């Protein structure tokens, strides 16, 4: 690429700005449940696959254990999840949804979906956008692996 380096044509800046805007955007539907965006995506991951290890969540969400542990403690204190040592391997901590966490899935996802509908994506544009974002992630992962 030979574009002049300016703030507005930096992919990293535009993604960072979109990230900031999404965090603010998600505050509206999630505030009703006293959830942050990161707590929401953690619950979303557990709604897809419950009873997983902290390490699994760490990899799935791209968060360090140091970031994830206090987040999980807050979710546990608010009765969304439980954390228990694995009886087969005491080094592993299993994370499971509580009944409260399970029951809230449809309400929360409906609230978020209602908010997302305001973006006015048709199915084709949504999929194209997702493909572009996944392409950027893939390129970054490949680039990081070349440095190892």
Per-residue model confidence (pLDDT) at position 44: 97
For 10-120, CATH number out of 1.10.8.590, 1.10.3130.10, 1.10.10.10, 3.40.50.300 equals 1.10.10.10
Q: What pTM was estimated for this model as a whole? A: 0.86
Spell out the domain ranges in the chain: 10-120
Q: Where are the alpha helices (DSSP H) in the chain?
A: 11-31, 37-48, 54-61, 65-77, 99-103, 105-116, 123-147
Divide the 148 residues of the chain into consecutive groups of 10 and give the mean pLDDT of each group: 84 93 91 95 97 96 94 98 92 95 96 90 94 94 81
With vertex at residue 53, the alpha carbon angle to CA 56 and CA 79, rounded to the nearest 5 degrees, is 115
- Structure tokens of 10? 């930096």
The whole-number pLDDT of residue 116 equals 85
CA-CA distance, 93 to 72, in Å (whole number)? Answer: 11
Rounded to 5°, the CA angle 65-112-34 comes to: 60
Which residues is 84 bridged to in the sheet?
A: 94
Angle separating helix axes 37-48 and 105-116, nearest 10 degrees: 120
Q: What is the pLDDT of residue 148?
A: 60
Q: What are phi and psi of 50, to 5 degrees?
A: -90, 160
Q: 88 near 98, Cβ under 8 Å?
A: no
């Amino acid at each position: 690429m030979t574009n002049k380096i300016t703030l507005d044509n930096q992919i990293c800046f535009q993604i960072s700005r979109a990230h900031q805007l999404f965090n603010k955007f998600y505050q509206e539907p999630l505030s009703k449940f006293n959830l942050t965006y990161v707590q929401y995506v953690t619950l979303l991951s557990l709604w897809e696959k419950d009873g997983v290890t902290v390490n699994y969540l760490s990899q799935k969400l791209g968060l360090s254990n140091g970031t994830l542990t206090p987040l999980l403690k807050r979710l546990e204190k608010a009765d969304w999840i439980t954390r228990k040592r694995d009886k087969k391997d005491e080094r592993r901590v299993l994370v499971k949804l509580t009944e409260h966490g399970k029951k809230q899935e449809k309400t929360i996802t409906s609230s978020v979906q209602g908010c997302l509908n305001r973006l006015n994506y048709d199915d084709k544009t949504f999929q194209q956008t997702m493909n572009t974002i996944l392409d950027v992630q893939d390129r970054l992962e490949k680039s990081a692996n070349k440095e190892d």
